Each structure stands twice: as C-alpha cells, then as structure tokens.
C-alpha cells in the first residue's frame, strides 16, 4: 500500500492519526453559510429602508421651485439629494455584494449583476415600505432621537426655510379673515413675519385660517416683511384639513 | 486498511462520505490527487519540489479538516484544486520565490501554442522548449494560472470558474487576454503571430 508515489499521502495520513485531527463538524459550515445569507438579507433590508427614506424625502421636496429662485434644475437636484440616505443605500449595496460573493455559488455572478439585483430588490421593497408609511414613521423617530439628523438631511423644511432666497414656511399666526390678503406667519425658527399676499397665487383653493401651515414663494420686502407670490400648503396638510372637516 | 482495488472502484464523492467515517479512505483520495496537485503547485508557483510537497501536505490536511464543507453535488476535483490554488498563492505571496523553470508536458504546450492564433508553425518550432517555458513564466500570475488550468489541466470554463472563484465570462476574458499577452511576448522574441 505504501509506495514512493504516495509519499505525501502517507505522511499526511500519519499526521492525521498522530495528531488525532478530525474534520470540523457539519454544523460549523452550516452556521457559517446561514450567517452569510442572513447578513446578505439584512443588508438588502437595510438598503431597502434607505431607499424608502430617499423616496420619502425626495417626494416631500418641491422640485419645481428652481424656476422661482433662479437656479438650474441640475443645481436644485445636486443640492436637494438626501445624501445621508443615498450613502447608506450604497454602503448596504456594497455589504450585500460582499456577503453574496461569499456564499457557496456567489462567485459565479458578475459584480454588475449582483449589485443590480440588490438594487432592484431594494427599490421594490423600499417602495413597499414607503407605501405602507414605514419611512414616514422612521423619519419622525430619527428627527426626535438622532442629534443633528435634521442638519444631515436636506428636508423640505430646510428647502423652504431660506427667506433670503425667496422661500419661507411656517404657520399662520393672525389673519384678518374678512380680507385674507395680509397675515402674520410664525416660521420654523419662531420668527414672526408680516406676509403681504394681495397679489399672491394661492395654490389648492385655500381658505386661510390661523394655524394653517404654509410654504410661500416670494421675496423679502423689508425687515420681517415678506411679499408672497405663490402660497402652497404643507405636505399632508390637505388630508389633515379634510379629516378635521375643513378649517375652524 | 483500505485496499487499492477498493479505492479504484469508488468515486471521489463516495470517498469523501466514507472518509468522514473512516480516515483510511482519505488515503485513497490523497493518492488519487497527489501527483496532479503536486504538478499544479509546481506550475503555478515556481516553488522547488520540497516546498511544493510541504504545500501539498498543508492542502491535504486542510481538505480533511473541511471535508464536511464539501457539497457532494459538486465536483470534488474542482473543490480540491480550489483549496490547492488558495494555499499555493498565499505561500507564493509570502515567500516571493525566485522564478524557476516549470515543466509543461509537450502536449499541453502544443495545445496552447496552437490556440494562440496564427503562430507560424515553423517559427514556433524554431524556439526551444525551454525558451517557450521562459516566456510563459514571464506572464503575470493571473494569466499564467488560467493558461495552466485550460491547457495543462484540461479544465473547461466552468471548472476553471469553480477553481478560481470567478464568473465564467471573466475566465473567458482572462484566457483571451493571456493569449494576447503571450502573442506580444512571442513577438518580442521575433515570432510572428
């Protein structure tokens, strides 16, 4: 049995016997395999959540205001993208790719196919999360619990709190309901503004009342006086008004 | 003790299952692959024979330890070549050995030369066997390893993909590029391609 041609084989068999080497148990490899697939699934789910946040934040932004503030559409996109979540989406796509190629047959697929498939799954799952209102709840939690979150994400509030660029948002504090032309607005930084709205276009057939939350396009006329050109309501405000049965 | 006749009648996959119950069967697997893997190590690494045997020993021990990781629906030969490849490359990078002339059998070398398009047969025959090996040895490892697997080990694209853990499309590209680089190297020696 022992021959010259099997020199290494004979040596190794002796080493195995002398050192009582045993094969690693099957459960060790199964656990490792399950762990890799679990990490892959987790990365895809986290990527989907990131995508749902991108969707939620971008859907809340007003993409047409570049016309009013004299910017190019491209610059508006560049400023407004939710980089915080886009970066997370890219990171999770990368982690998903890393885990996938470490599955048993993962190496058979090209990097482009793996990344594209993960992205498509993230888009589908993320859209479902968004449609079910999951991203809105998560956004509220992040705003409350994570310090500096509002500074890291370009939200619609940040987009509209730029009075020097002709954009302002807040709540009507006082209004003469008989005239409905000028009113006092308290902005998100708790500054009071006199809004001159005689020539403004009210989008959405609004009947203004104190407490109504608005987004206004226009220009600063004087200290704390803002001349409105166009007035819009806050995202979701229309539904809230309907639910309450109109304004008081 | 397992007899040689018993070894011969079993497939690799059957021997893996049997080795998990009785280590004597593992000897059958080792003897079946000892020469093939030793030559493969020598070809891709430029190690001397003694070093190559040390690597092979490490390979066999690692394969034995990981037998439970082998999926019996796969080809055992691809799996053991994969482990051999990994351990050899890792040792090669650690040692940074000096190049030695590796041995290719004439048939493998002939296959490679014929498939490297348009090499004029007369010109090819004017080069010595050693000179051709020297040219192949100059190729970067990523090209040399695919050429060895394709033309010396006679592996198909799927098998090379399973051994190198790269998609089949990438393997095809690597082989194409390897041939092109080989053509360029031959051109430097005055061989028209």
The pLDDT of residue B99 is 53
* Residue at A133 is within a domain: yes
Mean pLDDT over all residues of chain A? 87
Interface probe with A: pick from B19, B25, B60, most Cβ of A within 10 Å: B60
Strand partners, B102: none
What pTM value is reported for the model?
Answer: 0.78
- % of residues, chain A, pLDDT over 90: 51
pLDDT of residue A38 exceeding 90, the answer is yes
The pLDDT of residue B183 is 84
Binned at pLDDT 50, 70 and 90, residue A27 comes out as: very high
- A128 and A224, same domain (yes or no): no
pLDDT of residue A246 exceeding 50, the answer is no
Kindly give, in sequence order, each residue whose CB lies less than 8 Å from that of residue A210, ignoring residues fewer than 6 positions away: A172, A173, A174, A175
Contact B65 A29 (CB under 8 A): no
- Which residues of chain B does CATH 1.10.1740.10 include? 4-95
Binned at pLDDT 50, 70 and 90, residue A247 comes out as: very low
* Residue at A16 is within a domain: no
The string of pLDDT tens digits covering residues A114-164 is: 999 999 999 999 999 999 999 999 988 988 888 888 778 888 888 888 888
- A187 and A218, same domain (yes or no): yes
Strand partners, A195: A183, A226
The pLDDT of residue B192 is 62
The string of pLDDT tens digits covering residues B169-189 is: 999 999 999 988 988 888 887
* Residue at A118 is within a domain: yes
Q: Which fold has domain B4-95?
A: Rna Polymerase Sigma Factor; Chain: A (1.10.1740)
ipTM of the complex model: 0.81
The pLDDT of residue A1 is 42
- A79 and A105, same domain (yes or no): yes
Q: Could you say which of B26, B35, B165 has the minimum Cβ distance to residue A107?
A: B165
* Residue at A4 is within a domain: no
- A91 and A168, same domain (yes or no): no
Q: Give how many domains chain A has, as a whole number.
A: 2
The pLDDT of residue A10 is 92
Chain B: nearest CA to A34, how far in angstroms? 13
- A130 and A180, same domain (yes or no): no
What residues of chain A, 104 to 133, have a C-beta less than 8 Å from chain B?
104, 107-110
- A165 and A148, same domain (yes or no): no
- Which residues of chain B does CATH 1.10.10.10 include? 106-188
Q: Which fold has domain B106-188?
A: Arc Repressor Mutant, subunit A (1.10.10)
- A142 and A106, same domain (yes or no): yes
Per CB-CB distance under 8 Å, the chain B contacts of A23 are: 20, 64-68
Burial A178-193 (b: 16+ CB within 10 A, else e): eeeeebbbebeeeeeb
- A125 and A169, same domain (yes or no): no
What residues of chain B, 110 to 169, have a C-beta less than 8 Å from chain A?
161, 165-169
The pLDDT of residue A2 is 43
The string of pLDDT tens digits covering residues B87-119 is: 999 988 887 665 555 666 667 777 777 776 555
Q: Once rounded to an integer, what is the mean pLDDT over residues A165-178?
A: 86
Chain B residue with the nearest C-alpha to that of A4: B31
Low-confidence spans in chain B with pLDDT less than 50:
none
The pLDDT of residue B104 is 67
Q: Would you state the torsion angle of the CA atoms of residues B63, B68, B74, B75, taken in this order, to the nearest 10 degrees?
A: 30
Provide the residue range defining the domain that includes A224.
Answer: 161-243
- A145 and A166, same domain (yes or no): no
Interface probe with B: pick from A3, A11, A12, most Cβ of B within 10 Å: A12
- State which of A152, A173, A204 marks the end of a domain: A152
A184 SS3 class: strand
- State which of A152, A170, A195 marks the end of a domain: A152
Binned at pLDDT 50, 70 and 90, residue A248 comes out as: very low
Spatial separation of the C-alpha atoms in residues B91 and B54, rounded to whole Å: 10
pLDDT of residue A172 exceeding 80, the answer is yes
Per CB-CB distance under 8 Å, the chain A contacts of B64 are: 12, 16, 21, 23
């Amino acid at each position: 049995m022992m021959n010259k041609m099997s020199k290494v084989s004979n040596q190794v068999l002796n080493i195995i016997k002398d050192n009582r080497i045993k094969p690693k148990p099957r459960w060790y490899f199964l656990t490792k395999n399950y762990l890799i697939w679990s990490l892959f699934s987790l990365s895809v789910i986290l990527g989907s959540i990131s995508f749902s946040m991108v969707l939620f934040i971008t859907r809340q932004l007003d993409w047409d205001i570049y016309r009013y503030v004299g910017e190019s559409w491209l610059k508006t996109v560049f400023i407004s993208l939710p980089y915080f979540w886009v970066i997370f989406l890219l990171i999770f796509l990368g982690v998903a790719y890393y885990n996938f190629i470490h599955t048993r047959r993962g190496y058979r697929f090209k990097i482009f196919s793996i990344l594209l498939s993960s992205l498509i799954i993230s888009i589908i799952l993320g859209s479902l999360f968004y449609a079910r209102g999951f991203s809105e709840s998560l956004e509220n939690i992040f705003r409350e619990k994570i310090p500096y979150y509002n500074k890291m994400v370009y939200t619609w509030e940040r987009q509209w709190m730029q009075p020097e660029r002709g954009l302002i948002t807040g709540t009507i504090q006082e209004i003469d309901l008989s005239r409905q032309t000028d009113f006092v607005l308290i902005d998100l930084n708790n500054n009071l503004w006199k809004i001159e709205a005689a020539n403004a276009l009210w989008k959405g057939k609004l009947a203004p009342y104190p407490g109504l939350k608005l987004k206004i396009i226009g220009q600063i006329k004087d200290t704390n006086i803002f001349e409105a050109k166009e007035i819009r309501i806050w995202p979701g405000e229309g539904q809230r008004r309907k639910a309450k049965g109109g304004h008081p | 003790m397992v007899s040689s006749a018993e070894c011969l009648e079993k497939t690799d996959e059957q021997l893996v299952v049997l080795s998990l119950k009785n280590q004597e069967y593992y000897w059958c697997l080792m003897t079946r692959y000892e020469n093939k893997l030793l030559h493969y190590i020598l070809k891709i690494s430029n190690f001397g024979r003694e070093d190559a045997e040390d690597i092979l020993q490490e390979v066999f021990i690692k394969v034995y330890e990981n037998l439970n990781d082998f999926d019996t629906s796969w080809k055992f030969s691809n799996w053991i070549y994969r482990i051999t490849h990994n351990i050899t490359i890792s040792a090669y990078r650690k040692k940074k050995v000096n190049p030695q002339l590796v041995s290719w059998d004439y048939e493998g070398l002939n296959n490679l030369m014929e498939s490297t398009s348009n090499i004029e047969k007369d010109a090819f025959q004017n080069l010595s066997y050693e000179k051709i090996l020297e040219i192949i040895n100059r190729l970067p490892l990523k090209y040399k390893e695919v050429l060895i697997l394709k033309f010396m080990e006679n592996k198909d694209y799927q098998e090379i993909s399973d051994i190198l853990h790269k998609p089949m499309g990438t393997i095809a590209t690597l082989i194409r590029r390897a041939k092109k680089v080989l053509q360029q190297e031959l051109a430097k020696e005055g061989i028209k391609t």
